[in-house]
Amino acid sequence: MGQVVIASRLSDGLVVFLRDKADPSGGAGNGRADWVLQLADAEVADDDSRAAELLALGEADGAAIQSVVDIYLIEVEEETGQLRPTKAREAIRCFGPTVRPDLGKLALAERALAAGN
């Protein structure tokens, strides 16, 4: 069980996740926010204090750069090697509308893979 910072990108509204650019392994939390499109690329906080640091980092970035909005923490767990949010709502946010699997983030990731990048 861990936590991830989730947000919406201002320019197009897409769901993004936080990665601490300066210090991906945890620690001081004075890093730089890097917003990524795939949950798999997000930083997972193992405990509440790291989660709070990440949230603070995301919020500070949101306030300063204004490139993301609606920033909050979600709970995730690992299931057969894949990260999954524990709540249905957040899982749908992370992977896209269940009724249009062709449009969601997994499809996006698959297309990116197929294109070889």
Partner 1 sequence: MYHYDEYDHALVKDRVAQFRRQVERRLSGDLTEEQFRPLRLMNGLYLQLHAYMLRVAIPYGTLDSRQLRKLAYIARRYDKGYGHFTTRQNLQYNWPKLEETPDILAELAEVEMHAIQTSGNCIRNTTSDQYAGAAADEIEDPRIWCEIVRQWSTLHPEFSFLPRKFKVAITGSENDRAAVRVHDIGLIMKHGDGEGAGEAGEVGFEVIVGGGLGRTPFLGKTIRPFLAKEDLLSYLEAILRTYNMLGRRDNKYKARIKVTLHETGAEEFARLVEEEWAEIKESSLKLPKPEMDRIAAHFVPPEFRALESRATAEEERAAGDPAFASWVRNNIVEHKASGYAIANISLKPVGLPPGDATSEQMDLVADLADEYSFGEIRVTHTQNLVLPHVERSRLPELYDRLLAAGLATANVGLLSDIICCPGLDYCTLASARSIPISTQISERFADQGRLDLVGQMQIKISGCINACGHHHVGHIGILGVDRKGEEHYQIQLGGSASEDASLGKILGRGFSADQVVDVVEQLVDVYVELREGDERFIDTYRRVGQAPFKEKVYGTA
Q: Which of 1, 25, 28, 66 is close enough to bind partner 1 by CB under 8 A?
A: 66
Stretch that binds partner 1, among 18-26, 29-37, 51-59, 61-69 (CB under 8 A): 61-69
Q: Is 89 in the site for partner 1 (CB under 8 A)?
A: yes
Q: Which of 28, 88, 114, 115 is close enough to bind partner 1 by CB under 8 A?
A: 88
User: Which phi and psi angles does 21 have, rounded to 5°?
Assistant: -65, -45
Q: Is 108 in the site for partner 1 (CB under 8 A)?
A: no
If one counts every other C-beta atom within 10 angstroms of the C-beta of residue 10, the result is 15
Closest Cα partner for 2 from 35, 26, 21? Answer: 26
Q: Is 52 in the site for partner 1 (CB under 8 A)?
A: no
Q: Is 79 in the site for partner 1 (CB under 8 A)?
A: no
For the residues of 96-113, what is the DSSP string, one character each?
A: --TT-TTTSHHHHHHHHH
Residues, the chain? 117
The answer to whether 9 and 16 have CB atoms below 8 angstroms apart is yes
Q: Is 87 in the site for partner 1 (CB under 8 A)?
A: yes
Stretch that binds partner 1, among 16-24, 31-39, 41-49, 98-106 (CB under 8 A): 98-106
Burial of 75 (0-12, 13-18, 19+ CB in 10 A): middle
Q: Which chain residues interact with partner 1 by CB under 8 A?
A: 8, 10-15, 65-66, 69-70, 86-89, 92-93, 96-100, 103-104
